[in-house]
Amino acid sequence: MKLRIVCGALLLLVQSLANASQVQFPPITDERANLPGKFIWYDIFTATPQSSLKFYQAVFGWQAIAVEAGNIKYYTFYNGDHPVAGLVQRDSVLQSTSKALWLPSISAASTQKAEKMITASGGKVLMESRDLLGRGEALIARDPSGALFATLQTNGKDPEDFQAEAGDWIWQQLYSHQPTKATAFYQTLFNYNTFEHTLQNKEGVEHYILASQSHARGAIRAMPEAFSQTAKSQWVPFVQVESVAQTLDIAIENGATIVMAPDSDVLDGQLAVLSDPNGAVIGVMTWEYTPQEAK
């Protein structure tokens, strides 16, 4: 799968959604306040929406509500009573690959300023800043290591930091072929504080933590050997689950394959990465909050 094909699909689909006057995207929250650098939304792009809907409903218990705009359908996933992600159906003309893709949206104080900084820092803007009705100003870009991401300047208030429950996003990690270069890029773009972190029993593996507003936002690490040799640099979102082992069993029953199995040296085996039936890569983990974190 060539990255430019995926980028083209993303670009045309988001442009179609953004330009569809009858589409009103639900706001993420109702108040106004930005938390630059925070990962505030994820969309999955898929050529087979019904298959993707069935998988995520079965594995995480998410529910979905559809918004239609001509031949384009946009679904919002809900975990209980709150929205967690969106699903975009690809245009059938662009079905050159069956693989789906999760795209993160990172909060930006100004997407127009971010657009200039992306280009100046070695990235490439694939969709220029534009208004998504009801949601805010967004753009799609590719970082210097090739990973896709979006920035979003919301109309409302960015989701507050909270203790993730089962079915909520809890973490995100960029698996990159150029982790040092990628870290410098995101640090410049979102003014992150960055910390080099040594993974347990994996000395020599480049691994960096990104932080803003005194919260760890995500990590960037060198591409693991467990990934396919042809894997592109990519952001992988992680969902909090009650049991990694049980979640993997359910995921496999519903057509997933394991990309990176639980490792006792990583969170005591409470983390795994899988590929859904349509090729989208997603992680699962069980994080036990300390009393201090739970406050």
**Weakest-pLDDT range from 69-73, 95-99, 180-184, 288-292:** 95-99
Look up residue 253 and give its amino acid. E
Lowest mean pLDDT among 8-22, 156-170, 224-238: 8-22
Q: Which residue is associated with the tokens 């967690």?
A: 84
Residue with tokens 């069935």: 54
Average pLDDT for residues 221-250, to the nearest whole number? 94
**What is 3-154's CATH topology?**
2,3-Dihydroxybiphenyl 1,2-Dioxygenase; domain 1 (3.10.180)
The sign of the CA dihedral 43, 46, 49, 51 is: negative
Confidence of residue 280 (pLDDT cuts 50, 70, 90): very high
Question: What 3-state DSSP class applies to 203?
Answer: coil
Q: Evaluate whether 210 touches 192 at the Cβ level (below 8 Å).
A: yes
Determine contact, residues 163/295, Cβ cutoff 8 Å: no
Q: Where in the chain is the domain with CATH 3.10.180.10?
A: 3-154, 169-294
Q: Convert 282-293 into a string of H (helix), E (strand) and C (coil).
A: EEEECCCCCHHH
Please state, in angstroms and rounded to a whole number, the distance separating the CA atoms of residues 109 and 113: 8
Query: What is the predicted pLDDT for the residue at 27?
Result: 56
Name the pLDDT band for 26 (thresholds 50, 70, 90): low
pLDDT (mean) for 252-276: 94
Tokens of 95: 């079905």
Residue type, 288: E
Distance CA 283, CA 287 (A): 13
Average pLDDT over every residue of 210-237: 92
Query: 178-199: per-residue pLDDT in tens?
Result: 999 999 999 999 999 999 887 6
For domain 169-294, the question of CATH label 3.90.1150.10 is answered with no
Identify the bridge partners of residue 102 per DSSP, sorted by sequence position: 44
Q: Residue 167: name the closest of 260, 58, 261 by CA.
A: 58
Q: Mutual orientation of helices 49-60 and 244-253 as an angle, nearest 10°?
A: 150
What string of DSSP letters covers 23-61? Answer: --PPPS-SS-B--TT-EEEEEEEES-HHHHHHHHHHHH-
Supply the pLDDT for residue 69: 64
Categorize the per-residue pLDDT at 77 as very low, low, confident or very high, splitting at 50, 70 and 90.
Answer: very high
The predicted model scores a pTM of 0.84
